Structure 1
Amino acid sequence: MTDLLQGLLLTSAWGSIAVLLIAMARPLLKRLGGAAVVYRSWWMLPLALLAPLLPVPAVAVIDAAPVRAFGNALTTPLLPADAPLWPALLVAVWLAGALGVAVLQIRAQRRFVQAMGPLSPRADGSWQASADPGLPALVGVMAPRIVVGPDFDLRFSATERDLVLQHERSHRAHRDHWANLAVALLRCVFWFHPLLPWATRRFLCDQELACDARTVDPHPALRRLYASTLLKAQLVHPVAPMACHWRSQPMLKERIAMLKQNKRKALPWVSGQVVVVGLCVGLCSMAWASQGGAGTPSIGFEAEPVPAGSAETVGAQVVNTTAPKYPVAAFEQGVSGKVELRVEVGADGRVTDVRVLSATPAGVFEDAAVTSARAWTFKPALREGKPVASALKIPVTFEMNDEAPAP
């Protein structure tokens, strides 16, 4: 459970950095490449969320001699009495929030689909609804359909209808419905994130602006007609979370302003693409690299040097160790346990990272074992006579004895 919480916190932090970076880069990207490049910059967000979860190059792990800490050398409590409960409570709250957001989004999508009423196919490949809960729109994910309102033919001229349908076909061709599904999933997983509501609204706005640009850029003479078509349609209905709507009243002014801009030259557009790719690569590299090397004297501590390997390679060996302190809460309750640590040792013999591989019982002894391991020093491993980084797998056993805790 603690691994799940740490993963959520790590990805949330990098997601925040990605959103802030997108917000700061938007003016520059808009000048360089227009709405399409700005929309493409949102790739930074999912990449930044996934990068910290990618595996890092593994260092060969050598099994080390076990470490034991006995319950007769206590000072102040390292863990509160209810420490084992808070990870489970936080996970339960997160799950409840994720399920709640998922239910709300599914209900909103179903209400929108049901409000359209029966659909009938049209000769132009779209579908006509019996009611208008916020149409035209591209509705669905697995088999998306372009759905228009019952008064579509009456409200728009033939040329205007063709522009609307081109807009929705562009959404479908560029898989924007899958992007909306990804946003819906992120809203479930990161429902607690304070920047997510703004990021969702801004993403959907950039999606519509990019689709507008793709529709009118091949036909510059139709920009004025396209703007007047937008003015004919005002969306006042609740929108579906997984639908690409033609009408969008909150961003109508921004969409019309974008249509007044001239088509951009190829060189600035390419520059914008280069900037986006550079930002994605740089941010993801940093997020991925962030995983790396990520009282009273205790008695009863036992440790043995790590045996040497082959003639060419010698494993790291213990030089100086500090025994873990037995948590007071565990001692008072008579709890014993075992923690298996992965200890990464640098070429200078110092501990660079400590990770918990397993712990029994969970949430009791991990902090004490990790805190102690970070202060250990080793004789570094040797490869062909040169010190190199290495990793050790060290089991730490916490055992009870009959002695009372020190005052």
Structure 2
Amino acid sequence: MIELLALALMRAQVAAAFGVVLVLLLRLPLRRLFGPRLAYWLWAIAPAAAIASLFPSLSESLEIGATASPLAPDAALKVVAVWLAGAGVFAGFVAWRERAFRRLVERGEAGPAVMGALWPRLVLPADFEDRFSARERELILLHERTHIRRGDPMANLIVAGCRVLGWFNPMVHLGAAFLRIDQELACDASVLALRTGIRSDYARALLKVSMVGSSSPLACGWGTHPLILRVGFVGRTEPSRRREIVGFLAVTVFTLATVVGVWMLAPRGFDQHAFAPDALYAARPGLN
């Protein structure tokens, strides 16, 4: 039913916005306590909340509370049509930005970055060897390969899909922007955990990059995010293994608590039985 689709759309967007707000409140204290890698994983809360909203809530399972009034079929059809049209336009915008980035790649004017989600590959600018020393080139390549190993290109594709589906939801776009920052900080932390004695060279390589604006929503760019923030984190020590385990458990608990919270707090939808043929006939007097 078109009414059910419109209801699911609205519930998922409200739940996603709730998840984004929750992550924005938790990411900074969790980053200070457990490091940027676990703060990045905290973003799993937002899609988990949206998915949880699609299942019957507690009030619906127990059939408590008043049912919502469904949109009229014509109104529901218009809502879905506008949503699909907007999603198509935004998907075209993402594809246009990706194509523009690939043109820069062909001219050697983009990178260092990782391009492609399903088959990721390294992208290097034409002046890569002239701009960076051998040590810096090694660290940059290690950073980009770490993106691939962590699955960040696929994560960017999923985030782009969420932005297409929630093109009218400002919290989804805000969350995507902060997620990319946390993604780079997490990748930096992963690289610094692999090697010792590289922090000063790593910071110098970051400060040499000037490619802001030449990335795409799908690419993992070396210098497309706040460099001052990233350089500041280069000098910080990594949390202990015990603290990382505690942080992993905390992120898991927060995610599960969000799913349960959405399930418990989601209001009851409209009565689906009202759309059954028997119910429609029963509503007409004189029909047996």
TM-based fold match above 0.5: yes
Counterpart in 2 of 1:153?
Answer: 129
Q: Which residue, 269, 273, 278 being the options, matches 2:253?
A: 278
Please say if 1:45 is aligned against 2:46: yes
Q: Which residue, 226, 231, 235 being the options, matches 1:256?
A: 231
Please say if 1:162 is aligned against 2:162: no
Q: Which residue, 272, 281, 287 being the options, matches 1:356?
A: 272
Deviation of 1:15 after TM superposition, in Å, equals 1.1
Deviation of 1:225 after TM superposition, in Å, equals 0.8
Counterpart in 2 of 1:32?
Answer: 33
Please say if 1:203 is aligned against 2:179: yes
Q: Which residue, 64, 72, 76 being the options, matches 1:87?
A: 76
SS in 1 for 2:10: helix
Deviation of 1:54 after TM superposition, in Å, equals 4.0
CA distance in 1, matches of 2:260, 2:156: 26
Q: Which residue, 72, 89, 96 being the options, matches 2:85?
A: 96
Moved over 6 A (4+): 55-59
Please say if 1:222 is aligned against 2:198: yes
Q: Which amino acid aligns with 2:231?
A: I
Counterpart in 2 of 1:398?
Answer: 283
5+ residue gaps in structure 1?
60-78, 118-129, 295-352, 362-392, 402-407
Please say if 1:191 is aligned against 2:167: yes
SS in 2 for 1:146: strand
Q: Which residue, 69, 93, 108 being the options, matches 1:131?
A: 108
CA distance in 2, matches of 1:285, 1:159: 48
Of all paired residues, the percent bearing the same amino acid is 30
Question: Can you list the C-alpha shifts for 1:214-247, whole angstroms capped at 9, x where unaligned?
Answer: 0112324111110000011112333211110011
Question: Can you list the C-alpha shifts for 1:317-373, whole angstroms capped at 9, x where unaligned?
Answer: xxxxxxxxxxxxxxxxxxxxxxxxxxxxxxxxxxxx862146379xxxxxxxxxxxx
CA distance in 1, matches of 2:95, 2:146: 25
Q: Say if 1:140 and 1:242, in contact at 8 Å, map to a contact too.
A: yes
CA distance in 1, matches of 2:242, 2:53: 34
Deviation of 1:399 after TM superposition, in Å, equals 2.7
Q: Which amino acid aligns with 1:50?
A: I
SS in 2 for 1:399: coil
Q: Which residue, 154, 164, 179 being the options, matches 1:178?
A: 154
| Residues 358 and 210 of structure 1, relative CA distance in 2, 3 Å threshold | same
CA distance in 2, matches of 1:9, 1:83: 15
Normalising by structure 1, we get a TM-score of: 0.63
Deviation of 1:288 after TM superposition, in Å, equals 3.4
Q: Say if 1:52 and 1:289, in contact at 8 Å, map to a contact too.
A: no
Counterpart in 1 of 2:64?
Answer: none
CA distance in 2, matches of 1:397, 1:262: 70
Q: Which residue, 226, 233, 238 being the options, matches 2:209?
A: 233
Counterpart in 1 of 2:105?
Answer: 116
| Residues 356 and 55 of structure 1, relative CA distance in 2, 3 Å threshold | closer
| Residues 355 and 400 of structure 1, relative CA distance in 2, 3 Å threshold | closer
Q: Say if 1:52 and 1:290, in contact at 8 Å, map to a contact too.
A: no
Question: Can you list the C-alpha shifts for 1:122-144, whole angstroms capped at 9, x where unaligned?
Answer: xxxxxxxx421x30111011211
Normalising by structure 2, we get a TM-score of: 0.88
Q: Which residue, 99, 105, 113 being the options, matches 2:94?
A: 105
Q: Which amino acid aligns with 2:240?
A: K
Q: Say if 2:115 and 2:220, in contact at 8 Å, map to a contact too.
A: yes
Determine which structure has the larger helix proportion and give its number: 2
Q: Say if 1:32 and 1:271, in contact at 8 Å, map to a contact too.
A: no
Deviation of 1:260 after TM superposition, in Å, equals 1.5
Q: Which amino acid aligns with 2:18?
A: I
SS in 2 for 1:143: coil
